[in-house]
Chain A
Amino acid sequence: MAFTIFKRKKKARPKQKSPDRGFLSFHNTSEVIKAESLLKQKGWEVRVMGPPPELRTGCDLVIEFPLVEQLNILRVLEAKKITPMEAVPVHNPLLKPVDLFKTTDYGQHLMVRAANMKLTIEKETLKIVNISGGGCPDVPYLGARLVGKDLRQAPSPREIGHTLCGYALQLAYEEIKRQCSL
């Protein structure tokens, strides 16, 4: 049988515009202007535009931003006390973050999964022994920073992560702390 590792493929077409962008909404136009300046100054590609009808907002402008980098962007804004009302995906502003968790009890270890991220601790010592799942580049970074640390003293993924995978790990981190009554 002939085997060809190369092949010609049919070109596809993109399904939607701005699938990886999000909207930040604010209480007033002044905050929008300050946020836009700050984010541009930090090197992000953002733009100010009118909000979609689904997005209830305090003013008539929103900022479009790279959705995956939400965790980092929110931290930068909050450090300057510019807190958005909402951060939502552009193509469906009604989507909400996952709120389902799956817990696996291995006996001596406990694992919690939130979306695509899994956090595992040793129950007796509360040491973080593994982080798995995810696809954004801060996942290996978070693994390097958190694995081996005591859950009670480790920095939260929200503090040191940058992406939506980091955000998902934050949810797993909060859930495992809740289950450990911390």
Chain B
Amino acid sequence: MLALIGTVPDKGFPLVSGTVTLKDDFLSLDGHKVSVNRGTPALIAAASVTCEALGLALPFSFLVGDEGIGDGSRKLYKRLKDCLPYAGARVITFHYLQPDVDWHNRILWALEQKDELPVLIADAGYMYAAKMSGFAPSYDLFTPDIGELAFLADDEAPHPFYTRGFILHEEDNVPNLIKRAFEGENAARTLLIKGAKDYICTRESILATVDTPRVEALEAIGGTGDTLTGMVAALAYGGYTVEEAATIAARANRLAGALAKPTPSTQVVDIIKEIPKALEIVLVEAARNGDEINLTSNFSRSLGFCHCEPPARRGLCPGRRREAIS
């Protein structure tokens, strides 16, 4: 199971869990509908279309309404602590939740009671809580943007709002911020940094950078980081290593953006519609060209990408998956 966890901006939305359906720019779950606009609904929509393209089972979502008061998040935290360790999830992505270190720790410790941990991905508010908790290295992937990377790099900051001014949030300072984040034990095992250039890195090195196609308007569009995280989660669920998944998703997210021909006023739902096509292009391109997909490191060579026949009947790249996912 791929579990996706977050909130929707509707205080009347109850705590629900299950497999969503995506239709006419809306997600439906258990009779409740929510617009795919930004935030967790955008992540779920992107993960769902990616799973569908790869021929995988659709994600299982845990959702609750929360407009920022935190009440919905706390209900969801309680449910997660009780249910998540027994859900059988192989990949879990935590997303827009009110950052709460105490609840974060309770959930992590509950998961750790099981002998095996699933792949853990954190973005948005849950990534803030994970960093504050001191347990960031327990996670497999964080997906910060530049402002959030500066927060991870600042050992003192309890939230990006308090990141100290001398830690510059600039693109040309990214390698330094990465180094600080890992040295302070404030990073997951892998970071995917979203920016004008996307970085995929571990404590040891920057594994890959992805900077094409370059679509400047994407930074302004709410939800483009969420779609990227959703795609990574689905690809990791499909058997790619976290680093591979992050690299493929970074490229495909940019391409989906380019295909949508966006302006800064474009809404993310128009980009999500292009994800299946973008993913197909990236995987076919990778299969055809091996390491020639404009990644700026040698990582794509070791990655090998997709050495199967693209695309198959339901999945774009089923032979690439290293393990059957049920």
| Residues of chain A at the chain B interface (Cβ within 8 Å) | 1, 3, 5-9, 11-16, 19-20, 22, 43, 66-69, 72, 89, 91-92, 95-100, 102, 104, 106, 108-109, 111, 113, 115-118, 120, 122, 129-144, 147, 161-168
Contact = CB atoms under 8 A, between A and B. Distances in A.
Contacts of B151: 115-116
Contact of A141 (B9, B100, B239): B9
A169 B117 CA distance: 36
Contacts, number: 239
Given A3-B322, A12-B135, A19-B101, A162 B68 contact: yes
Contact of A122 (B38, B101, B160, B265): B265
B225 interface: yes
A13 B134 contact: yes
B67 A162 contact: yes
A138 B69 CA distance: 8
Contacts of A113: 147, 169
A7 B214 CA distance: 36
Given A129-B264, A134-B124, A143 B38 contact: yes
B90 A115 contact: no
15 contacts: A6-B118, A20-B102, A43-B71, A95-B158, A109-B265, A111-B264, A113-B147, A129-B264, A130-B220, A130-B221, A131-B38, A139-B124, A140-B37, A141-B67, A165-B125
A69 B70 contact: yes
A137 B222 contact: no
Interface residues of B, number: 80
Contacts of A15: 133-134, 185
A132 B67 contact: no
Contact of B161 (A11, A138, A162, A167): A167
Given A5-B239, A115-B163, A140-B39, A133 B265 contact: no
Given A98-B162, A133-B145, A143 B222 contact: yes
A130 B127 CA distance: 23
Nearest to A113: B147
B182 to A, nearest CB: 14
Given A68-B159, A165-B161, A137 B96 contact: yes
Contacts of B220: 104, 106, 109, 111, 118, 120, 129-130, 132
Contact of B219 (A67, A116, A118): A118
A137 B6 CA distance: 9
Contacts of B112: 9, 11
B143 to A, nearest CB: 11
B233 interface: no
A5 B91 CA distance: 8
Contacts of B119: 5
Given A12-B137, A135-B96, A163-B68, A20 B147 contact: no
Contact of A138 (B67, B137, B160): B67
A98 B158 CA distance: 12
Q: Which of A92, A98, A116, A142 is most buried by chain B, counting CB atoms within 10 A of its CB?
A: A116
B76 to A, nearest CB: 10
B231 to A, nearest CB: 17
A9 B138 contact: yes
A164 B126 CA distance: 14
B264 A137 contact: no
B98 interface: yes
Given A14-B133, A72-B69, A106-B216, A130 B99 contact: no
A137 B98 contact: yes
B35 to A, nearest CB: 8
Nearest to A115: B160
B127 A135 contact: yes
B264 A109 contact: yes
Given A72-B68, A144-B37, A130 B265 contact: yes
A83 B236 CA distance: 48
